[in-house]
Amino acid sequence: MSGFIRVTADAADGDFELNLSFSKGGFSGQGDAYFSANVLLSFCKDLGQFPLAFPLPSLKGGYWKSDEDSTVLALETLGVWIESIDSHGYAALKVLAAKPHDNRDDFSWSHTACAEFRVSYEQLDRFSKDIVSLVNGRVDEVILREEH
């Protein structure tokens, strides 16, 4: 089943609100989170490496705990990560998109969706370069289409 991932970004005070939507096999989702340009560019650098380095690249954002441990997510609303699936040049690009409940303080999702996309390392490299172009303002959106 073919699917796609669409990424856009809005710049705000030196950070980016990354918006990710996807569709795959009847499932779809949309999530967003704020990231610094440095975090996004570091993720893209790791994503474009061949072979992929361990730990495998991941990008997670959402609502952070407000106590002294602000490095822990209280609620993930956007996630992108890689898993190895074979030794023939393919990987699994996994995405999570979620929306929190409105007017609730318990940090829980009202909607969430995940999907896995089988992608080649060439696609990962192109996707990473396209996101760099998005961060640098050269493109308005990035679309990754799953190939068979």
Residue 144 lies in a domain: no
At residue 29, the pLDDT reads 93
Residue 146 lies in a domain: no
Residue 68 · residue 115 · CB < 8 Å: no
Q: Which residue has the tokens 């409105």?
A: 102
Number of structural domains in the chain: 1
Residue 43 lies in a domain: yes
Residue 117 lies in a domain: yes
Task: Please report, for residues 85, 95, 98, 140, the alpha-carbon distance to residue 21 in angstroms, rounded to integers and kept in the order given.
Answer: 23, 9, 10, 14
The rounded mean pLDDT for the chain is 86
pTM: 0.86
Per-residue confidence at 55, pLDDT binned at 50, 70, 90?
A: confident
At residue 50, the pLDDT reads 83
At residue 110, the pLDDT reads 63
For 15-89, list the strands marked E by DSSP. 15-24, 27-36, 58-64, 73-84
The residue segments making up the domain with residue 37 are 3-139
Residue 148 lies in a domain: no
At residue 112, the pLDDT reads 82
At residue 138, the pLDDT reads 95
CATH code for the domain of 127:
3.30.2450
- 87-129 pLDDT, tens digit per residue, is 777 899 999 998 765 665 656 556 788 999 999 999 999 999 9
Residue 41 lies in a domain: yes
Residue 111 · residue 23 · CB < 8 Å: no
Q: Which region among 41-50, 59-68, 102-111, 129-138 has the lowest average model confidence (pLDDT)?
A: 102-111
Residue 145 lies in a domain: no
